[in-house]
Amino acid sequence: MFAEVKAMLPVSGDGYDAEIILQINAAALDLTRTAEIVLPGEINIVRANDGTVTDTSTVTDALVITAIATWCNMRIGNPANYDNLLKAYEAMKGALRISGSYTDFEPESDET
């Protein structure tokens, strides 16, 4: 997930990796706490002291990843198109919120 989000950002190199990880986690909190969206997987990204990023996240949903990348785009640096990014993020968050696919995940039961 980290690589996918980073690829959508206007950054190069590893200088922003710590900030990207922080903002991915902040976006996930915004989606899950303020919009009550249930993420289809977990986010687990760690950056070691040597700068190595380990990502064992299980979120692969394109809409969720795009929403998180949009959040990161508007939070990293001072983008000139902040207002447009905010509108896009809010629209994606709204789409996630009204879809039952992202609001009522329940563990599958083995019981019949």
What are the boundaries of each domain within the chain? 2-98
Q: pTM here? A: 0.89
Q: What does the pLDDT read at residue 99? A: 86
Residue found by looking up tokens 């303020």 in the block? 34
Q: What share of the chain is helix, strand, coil (3-state, %, to 5)?
A: 50, 5, 45
pLDDT over 60 (residue 108)? no
> Which one has a higher pLDDT value, 99 or 108?
99
Q: What would the pLDDT profile of 27-59 be if each residue is shown by its tens digit?
A: 999 999 988 899 999 999 999 999 999 999 999
- In 1-112 the beta strands, taken as DSSP E runs, fall at 45-47, 53-55
The mean pLDDT of the chain is 92
